[in-house]
Structure 1
């Protein structure tokens, strides 16, 4: 008899056979969510992180790349690209948002996506990169291969979310975006996060 078993979405799933060109993504949040969910690192179950306090709703599917971790190698990439206010990675799996025209109703699922760029975000001195990707086969976004090909309004919409989702209206900004980068550097960030994962968790 085969025992019931569910792989841990962070540790028990690969980043993808063709990573960093095509990566597996574990989706935690979808655009219709008014609560921020995240994977519980110990159990692998989705848990409630916090209700969204304001109207800034995630404009894309959002989750992480399995078997990645943001530590020294990711931090060093930020320093190499000119960040002077970063002292560590954020000690979480690598964040990724996936553009798709399809209405996916809930997170807790895996999909394949093609990285096309990202935002080098610095959050309280921590390197907290946000990879931007497109869902394979999506009829509206699936053909893009670099963030430079996206409409400017789409890039700004994503940037605005990440720059404001943690802030109360009367608070100073808690994070900033060092740069918007294309597919080539996004792949370097993914590889650096895989290196950090191996150095911290092995395998």
Structure 2
């Protein structure tokens, strides 16, 4: 598939129209080692925002029913798709059958010591690991990254470098953020994995995207 915003014509088109955050933003020439992430939610948000897949605008998904707030910048990786290959990789690592991708772009949490007060922004980030999360029977991986050139987190090269309490705080959020009063979410985190495995999840999601949206580039010309 053509990366429509990595070539001159694609870049000119991007000057005329706002790029769709999922399909119109280039993941980056150094991916998966360095990626461009679209941030939907920041730690000061008391509601959860999520990209509307049709329009590309932020949609108010739901108010947070409890006091938990996302402990880092949270969003997704453009031009990725949690599909067949991501599901297969999850099945291999968990030795479970019947797991499929959740049909969304790959989620990413970006650690930074800076106070960033609103979403709907792009950041450059370095993946250092992730959580193998399963929601029902669907793979819902959470890539953990650090903001590029961040003063505090720049030295972290792998999730094993991150303080344990930070990792546990992230886990707690993802295991509870879908809970509703009277109904608990059917989610679990089976593994915390390091940088190289995060790279492989991202590669799988890139290939899943190219397969799922193989004709998208043709429609833009």
TM-score, length-scaled by structure 1: 0.95
Deviation at 1:82, TM superposition (A): 1.7
- 1:198 alignment partner in structure 2: 210
Matched, 1:141 2:177: no
Query: How do 1:95-134 residues align onto structure 2 when only pairs under 5 Å count?
Result: 95-134=107-146
Residue deviations 1:137-179, cap 9 Å, x none?
1111122110001100010000010011111465445100110
More deviation, 92-101/80-89? 80-89
- 1:29 alignment partner in structure 2: 41
Following TM superposition, the consecutive aligned residue runs of length 4 or more in structure 1 with deviations greater than 4 angstroms are none
RMSD over aligned Cα, in angstroms? 1.5
Structure 2 distance, partners of 1:150, 1:172, is 29
- 2:6 alignment partner in structure 1: none
The aligned length equals 202
Residue deviations 1:60-106, cap 9 Å, x none?
00000000000100001101102426521000000000000101110
- 1:77 alignment partner in structure 2: 89
Structure 2 distance, partners of 1:95, 1:156, is 18
- 1:87 alignment partner in structure 2: 99
Q: Alpha carbons of 1:22 and 1:80: their partners in 2 closer, same or farther (altered >3 Å)?
A: same
* Structure 2, gaps ≥5 residues long: 1-12
More helix by share: 2
1:41 to 53, 57, 66: 53
Structure 2 distance, partners of 1:134, 1:21, is 11
TM-score, length-scaled by structure 2: 0.88
2:188 to 176, 183, 187: 176
Structure 1 distance, partners of 2:107, 2:129, is 12
Asked if the contact 1:30/1:58 (under 8 Å) is kept, the reply is yes
